Structure formats: C-alpha cells, structure tokens
Amino acid sequence: MSSRNSYQPWFWRMFVLGIVLCLSAYQTQAQPYYYYFARTTTRGDADIYRKNLLTGADELYLPDAGRIGDLLWSPDQSRLFLQVRHDLDVIEINNSNRRTNLVSGILEVSQVLDAPLINKMFISCETLHPQDIITIAFDRTTNAPIDTLEEFYIYDLPFLSPNEELAFRSLSDSSGFIFSAINTANGQVVWERRCGNVGPFPFYPGVENGKKGKALMVFEEFPEGDDFSHQKFVVCDPESNLVFQSIRFPMRSKGYLSSDRKYVILEQVNFDTTRPGRAEYRPGNVWIHDSRTGAFFEQLVLPPEGQILLYDGYADRLYYYLPNEQRAITVVIAPRASQVKGGLFNPTGSTLSVKAKPSVNFGAGNTLNSLIVTLRRLTSPSVTLGNVSSPTYGFVKMGADTTIGSYKYQKFITTANTPLNWVAGTEYELFTVPVQGGNGNTVTFELTNALAFGQYFVEINYSDKTDTMFYSSSVTFPTVPAPPVLVSPFNREQGVSTNPTLRWNASNGATSYRLQVSTRSNFSTTVVNQGGITTTSYTVQGLQGGVKYYWRVSATNGAGTSAYSSVYSFTTRQFQESIRK
C-alpha cells in the first residue's frame, strides 16, 4: 500500500477511519525515501522534497509542483501521486517531466494498491459529484484508466493476493471474519466466505492492515467497558482459510503487518481531547509480535509523535519517521532466537504456564530428569511468583529469586525422572505458577535457557477471564541430524593400515557421533562401538591384518540420533610374516 505526507491535519481524521499508513518498496529499490512537500507561497504552491532514510540526506525533488493537497507514492516508489485541488496527477519518479492527470473531480485520495505483476494500479478516492467512493483501475504503463470497480469500498481496506489476481474485501460482522474475493481483471466477485472459526463478537471486527493475501484483524472478545481490556489482534489468510494465534493487546492502538508479513507491529495510540487540531497522541511505544504464533519479541520505546514506515526492500527493518525533527530512526525487527518472552499486562491473578512442543517423538527410554528452566524478569515493576504446580513432571523452585543487576532470576528443576511418551507437534505442560503484582504495568518474562527437544513457549491464563494469551512460542531447536556421509577409507579399499583413521563429513546440527566397526555386514557383533565422538574422525587401533571390516557412523544432538550412514568396507593389509609363508 501507499504512504502519505504526515503534515496535513485531515490525514489524522482519515487515520481514525482506519486508512492504512504503510509504505512498500520492491527489492530493486536502491534506497528507502520519504517524500514530503513544503509550501512556498501564500496561495499554497509547494516544492516536493525527499529524504533518504538510510543517510538522512534531503534533496529537492520537484520545485513548483502546484497547490498540493496530498502526496502519496506507489509501493515500488516508481510513481508519485499528487492531489492538486480536485485533480489527481501521477509523476514517474525517474522522469519528473512526465506528469499525467489521472482523474478530476475528487475530494480525497484514500489509497493506492499497486499490482506490478498484472501491470495495474487501483486508486480509491472520494468523488465530489456525486459524493461517493470508487476504485479505478489504471494501466501501469500508459497511466490510462481501464475500469471502475464498484465492488471496492475504501472503508473495507481492500488488499491484494500474492499473485495480485484477487483483491480481498472484508464483510466481517459479529458472527466472524467474512471476506469476498474480487477478480482484479474484471471486478467480479469470485467467492464470499468465512475465514476460520473465530467469533461471534460483541462488535464488528475491523481490518487494521492487509498485505499480500493476509489481513491483520482487530476485535473485542467481550462487550464489557470501553477500555480495550478485551481487545485482540489476529492475522487471517482468507484464501487458505487460516486464522493464526491471536494477540491480546489491551490498549488503544494501531496495528501493522511487516513487509514480509512475519511480524505484527502494534503502536500505542492515546486519545487526548485537550490537544488542539487532533485528539490522537502517539507516545512512541511499539510492540513486535510473531504474526503466526503471537510471540512477543520486543518492546520499543521511541520518541513520541513518530510515523511508522515499512519497506518491502528492507523487510527486517522498521523506519520511524519524526516529522517535527525531519529524521528517521531505523529499528531491526528480527527477534533474538535464543530467548522467548512472555509479556503480561497487569498480571495479578493470572497463571503462567510453561509448555513444550517436541519436534520429534520421544518414546520408551527417554526421560525428563534434571531439566532446568529459568524465568527472568525485571525487578520493577515488582511481581511475585507463587507455588509451582507440576503434577506430571515434578518441577520445583530451585531456591529463592536471584537478583543480578536489573533482573530477577527464578530457576525451576525437575528431579522426577519422568518417562516420556511425547508425540511430535503435541503440546505438553511442564509446570504452572501463579503471578501476583505488577501494579497495572507490563511485566515481561523470558525463558533464558533452551529446551533441546523442539519448541517451548509461555502461556498466560487470566483467572478472571476465559481467554488464553499466547505470548511466546516458535523458537525451534535442533531436529534430528541427517546420517553422516563417510569419506575415508574409500568403500572396498584394499591394503588399509591396521591402525586406520576413519573420517566422515559433519552432519548439520550434530553434537556427537557413534562409530561402529565389525567383521560382519549386519553388525551383529562389533569390534568398535564408540559413542560420544565430538570430531569427524576416529583412529582405530590393533585391527587384524588381511581382514575385511565394515564400518558406519550415526549423528546425535539434543533432538535424537540419526539413522546410520551407508555401510562402507575396507580390507587391512597382510603382515609381512604372512607373506613369507
């Protein structure tokens, strides 16, 4: 979708109506730019400038651009769209002399959807006579209008499928998430259906942001009050009929999908009627979550009154533009893979649960013993962890909290030696612990040590509500490594030393290897059966001369042991005494 200049007062009114502020740029774009205009005369004539968000440099892009009322740019930054009074013009960025009038008689431009794969762009605008909202399809090459798509309405925030052949429009009501799919070639409705089984809702859910086939939805789960305490965000995929894990976010906010749709970015937006001109105030608090699992990765504390910009060409970055200071802050939004956090809003009366989801089966012979789980939290705001409950696995606290710097650490350990019968992909609760305190603030927990059997996450259950809030998940630890590939001696090699060094290639993720050497091809008996080898070679001592040996290697890590490699054979050389005979 397009972005727009942030200086115009009417922009904030459109923001309240839910117009998406999001900028995309394709990988071919060399630099991320922010375009803005500055008035040069009392009549409203303006020059257009652009700021390089990587270098911070400003440059005059187009002088004397006219009486600009609004400025937008296409997702790939190949075109600028200028509303000059009641006309909409387009300028090719690489050739500012090519300026074409697209449509006249408009009140406001609401949104630009760019579809380079099908060589179209869709512009939604509000017309003067009659006062209506339409979406017009244009040819991207000629800028000529193709058709008016009456099925589009800007308040529904249409968004395109990944192949751009469909545009999705939300028809959601209190019964659930409902979408219609519109053929971008002819504007006809292809299908209309419900997505997932979420709902019913006390109020209609809304589309916060839509991008490349996915929609970020916001809804209230319970009708009580107007304090956003029951507000949730969730990502939907209407074409695949998927609804991912919801995110409970109990404050007034604005939501975005990152350019690669991996993350949900939630920005706190306060309402302040004492502010002249507009009542919205952005204090600079931003939270980042995994779009599929709801995992809470990071909270950003940024200067107030900024503007979030997201670029496809820089999918791992969030640009936070400060109009009053005319500078941008760059934030890398990739999570730390070694830690998982669970954030609780005013956690008093809630229960924290640590769960595991194995990536492989753990059957007979596997036990859970002496496993230590550490929960870390800031010393302020102060919270208290109650008595741990772990009826199946016997987790207990390892003493009291330990304070190191600004953090408190609480360790939990199991000594129950519990046999496991875990199935890959199934969730198993390790232990629960009640939480008290917080004083209405956000408390963040971190699991600071990795569990080596697959995935783990924190689940928070609020005792005064029926909902469950998943805040951390999807840190994947090693899966079973692949069987090693043998290197030397070569298969069926003759005249090998009776003290040979056997070598093999490393298996990705392996922490140790087991070597077997036998005079039998089925390894019913072994000459060498050595595990715990941490290198990719092993020297065997004292083999007999003139004998054929078979050998193989397996690889092991925390998730399990691989199958054995292919079996190689070699024959040792004869002793000299045997040759003389």
- pLDDT above 70 as % of the chain: 75
pLDDT score recorded for residue 428: 79
Token pair in block for residue 363: 């059957």
Residues 504/512, Cβ–Cβ less than 8 Å: no
Q: Which of 105-114, 267-276, 329-338 has the highest mean pLDDT?
A: 105-114
User: Are the CB atoms for 133 and 117 separated by under 8 Å?
Assistant: no
Instruction: Give residue 541's pLDDT.
Output: 93
Asked whether residue 333 is assigned to any structural domain, the reply reads no
Q: pLDDT above 90 covers what percent of the chain?
A: 18
- Shared domain for 458 and 572, answered yes or no, is no
Q: What CATH number is associated with residue 67?
A: 2.40.128
Examine the domain organization and report whether 459 and 498 are in the same domain: no
Q: What is the pLDDT, as a whole number, of residue 442?
A: 47
Average pLDDT for 412-431: 77
- State yes or no: pLDDT of 20 exceeds 70: no
Last residue of a domain, one of 117, 139, 156: 156
Q: How far is CA 346 from CA 22, 227, 452, in A?
A: 31, 14, 31
Residue 438 pLDDT level (bands cut at 50, 70, 90): low
- Please indicate, yes or no, whether residues 496 and 539 belong to a single structural domain of this protein: yes
Q: What are the backbone angles phi and psi of residue 53, rounded to the nearest 5°?
A: -75, -15
Q: Are residues 397 and 514 in the same domain?
A: no
Answer yes or no: are the C-beta atoms of 245 and 234 closer than 8 Å.
yes
In this prediction, residues 55-78 reach a mean pLDDT of 84
- 183-200 in b/e burial notation, b at 16+ Cβ within 10 A? ebeebeeeeeebbbebbe
Residue 289, pLDDT > 90, answer no
* Co-location of 523 and 425 in the same domain: no
Among 238-242, 367-371, 374-378, 447-451, the range scoring the smallest mean pLDDT is 447-451
Higher pLDDT, 456 or 352: 352
**136 and 24 in contact (C-beta within 8 Å)?**
no
Per-residue pLDDT tens for 481-532?
889 999 999 999 999 999 999 999 998 778 899 999 999 999 999 999 999 9
* pLDDT, mean over the chain: 76
Classify residue 90: in a domain, yes or no: yes
Cβ atoms within 10 Å of 142's Cβ, excluding its own: 10
314 found inside a domain: no
Which is nearest to 246 in space by CA: 210, 217, 222?
A: 217
Q: Is residue 187 part of a domain?
A: no
Number of domains in the chain: 3
Query: pLDDT class for 149, splitting at 50, 70, 90?
Result: low
Q: Are 138 and 146 in contact (CB under 8 A)?
A: yes
- For residues 466 and 511, state if they share a domain: no
**Any idea what the CATH number is for the domain that residue 451 is in?**
2.60.40
Rounded alpha-carbon distances, angstroms, from residue 98 to 46, 62, 70, 93, 477: 18, 12, 19, 9, 54
CATH of the domain at 547: 2.60.40.10
Confidence grade of residue 295 (pLDDT, cut at 50, 70, 90): confident
According to the model, what pLDDT value does residue 324 have?
A: 85
- Tell me which residue range forms the domain holding 515: 486-580
The reply to whether 8 and 129 lie within a common domain is yes
Q: Which residues pair with 266 in a beta bridge?
A: 255, 287
Cα–Cα distance between 511 and 507 in angstroms, integer? 9
Q: What is the mean pLDDT of residues 47-54?
A: 88
Do 450 and 506 belong to one domain? Answer: no
Cβ contacts of 307 within 8 Å, gap of 6 or more: 6, 21, 320, 321, 322, 323
Beta strands in 393-527 (DSSP E): 395-397, 402-404, 407-414, 418-419, 428-437, 442-447, 454-462, 468-470, 486-488, 493-496, 501-504, 512-518
- 456 and 499 share one domain: no
Scanning 246-371, the segments in alpha helix (DSSP H) are: none
| Contact indicator for 320, 306 with CB cutoff of 8 Å | yes
Quote the pLDDT of residue 26: 34
State the pLDDT confidence band at 334, using cuts at 50, 70 and 90. Answer: low
Decide: 557 and 453 in contact? Cβ < 8 Å.
no
Query: Is the bond preceding residue 145 a cis peptide, omega within 30 degrees?
Result: no
Of 126 and 499, the structure prediction assigns the larger pLDDT to 499
Q: Is residue 443 part of a domain?
A: yes
Domain boundary among 470, 497, 527: 470
Given a contact cutoff of 8 angstroms between Cβ atoms, the answer to whether 85 and 106 are in contact is: no
Q: Does the pLDDT of residue 213 top 50, yes or no?
A: yes
Tell me how many degrees the CA angle 344-455-338 measures, rounded to the nearest 5.
70
What distance in Å separates the CA atoms of residue 435 and residue 410, rounded to the nearest whole number? 13
Mean pLDDT of 253-264: 89
Both 127 and 2 in one domain: the answer is: yes
pLDDT at 237 over 50: yes
Residues 498 and 568 in one domain: yes
Q: Is the pTM of this model over 0.85?
A: no
Q: Strands 493-496 and 468-470, how do they pair? A: unpaired
Lowest mean pLDDT among 118-132, 224-238, 348-362: 348-362
The 10s digit of each residue's pLDDT in 345-367 is 445 566 777 777 665 666 666 66
pLDDT in the model for residue 347: 52
> What pLDDT is attached to residue 27?
35
Is 362 or 68 the better-scoring residue by pLDDT? 68
More confident residue, 237 or 110: 237
Residue pair 481/453 in contact by the 8 Å Cβ criterion: no
Last residue of a domain, one of 123, 139, 156: 156
pLDDT of residue 369: 64
Does the pLDDT at position 287 exceed 50? yes
Spell out where 9-66 has E strands. 33-39, 46-52, 58-66
Q: Please say if the pLDDT value at position 467 is more than 50.
A: no
In a domain, 204, yes or no: no
For residue 36, what are the contacts with CB-CB under 8 A and spacing of at least 6? 5, 6, 7, 48, 49, 50, 51, 71, 323
132 vs 144: which has the higher pLDDT: 144
Give the pLDDT confidence score for residue 566 in this predicted structure: 93
pLDDT tens-digit map of 152-205: 444 456 789 989 999 898 888 888 889 999 888 887 889 999 988 888 888 888
Confidence bin at 226 (pLDDT 50/70/90): low
On whether both 454 and 492 belong to a single domain, the answer is no
What's the pLDDT score for residue 123?
84
Q: How far is CA 366 from CA 132, 133, 392, 418, in A?
A: 67, 64, 15, 9
- Whether 400 maps to a domain, the answer reads yes
Establish if 251 belongs to a structural domain: no
